[in-house]
Amino acid sequence: MSKYLVAALLTTALFTCSASAQTASTKTAADSAASSHKEGEWRASKLVGVNVYNEANEKIGDINEVILDKSGKTANVILGVGGFLGMGEHYVAVPYDKLKWVNEPVRTSTATPPADKPTVGVNNAGAATGEVNRSNRPVRAANENWYPDHVVYNATKDQLKAMPQFKY
């Protein structure tokens, strides 16, 4: 009988200790969790699809992926160059710190659709995806910087196509 009593007491002590350890770790995680967006932070999901231009305001590609290192720091950005509707695109990795992130729309001499009439993306079959083309979105206020308008990378489309293909 005492054998069962000792086993019951040890089990109760074990469950009590593990429950208090879980409560302490939950409090620590809650204390360090972010409660809102901070200036200078961007949603990685919104960076995919951002257009990339060179210094001459020529569109040279778009962002296809953001690569993080083990510490969570952005190491590379994968650019998609060329292709048509996602087919035949050449993917290249460029260092994150070589990109210039710009919040203002690209200044071009060509006419763009008005901001109140956005264009809609299409998939490979030509069906509307419902995604709004960001190239004609209006300028955002400083407190709405969830992602940049475009990126500038100092290269031509031909130079990017000559770079080694990034393999997923």
Say which CATH number the domain at 87 has.
2.30.30.240
Among 26-30, 112-116, 135-139, name the most confident range: 26-30
Q: Which domain holds residue 59?
A: 44-162
Q: CA-to-CA distance for 149 and 105, rounded, in angstroms?
A: 6
Q: Phi and psi (nearest 5°) for 157?
A: -60, -40
| Average predicted confidence (pLDDT) for the chain | 73
Find out whether 147 and 166 touch, Cβ atoms under 8 Å: no
Say what the pLDDT of residue 149 is.
87
27 within domain boundaries: no
78 within domain boundaries: yes
31 within domain boundaries: no
Predicted confidence band at 147 (pLDDT cuts at 50, 70, 90)? confident
Whether 38 has a pLDDT exceeding 90, the answer reads no
Q: Which residues contact 141 (CB under 8 A, 6 or more apart)?
A: none
Q: How many domains does the chain have?
A: 1
State the maximum Cα–Cα separation within the chain, in Å, rounded to a whole number.
91
What pTM, to 2 d.p., does this model score? 0.59
21 within domain boundaries: no
Say what the pLDDT of residue 58 is.
93
Q: Phi and psi (nearest 5°) for 106?
A: -65, 140
Where does residue 24 rank: exposed (0-12), middle (13-18), buried (19+ CB within 10 A)?
A: exposed
Say what the pLDDT of residue 8 is.
58
118 within domain boundaries: yes
Whether 68 has a pLDDT exceeding 70, the answer reads yes
Q: Which residues contact 12 (CB under 8 A, 6 or more apart)?
A: none
Q: CA-to-CA distance for 140 and 148, rounded, in angstroms?
A: 10
Q: CA-to-CA distance for 51 and 107, rounded, in angstroms?
A: 13
61 within domain boundaries: yes
19 within domain boundaries: no
Whether 143 has a pLDDT exceeding 50, the answer reads no
128 within domain boundaries: yes
More confident residue, 143 or 89: 89
Among 20-29, 47-56, 78-87, name the most confident range: 47-56
Please state the separation of Cα 21 from the chain's center in Å. Answer: 35
Among 2-6, 35-39, 60-64, name the most confident range: 60-64
More confident residue, 149 or 18: 149
Find out whether 125 and 26 touch, Cβ atoms under 8 Å: no
User: Which tens digits make up the pLDDT trace of 87-112?
Assistant: 789 999 999 999 999 888 877 655 44
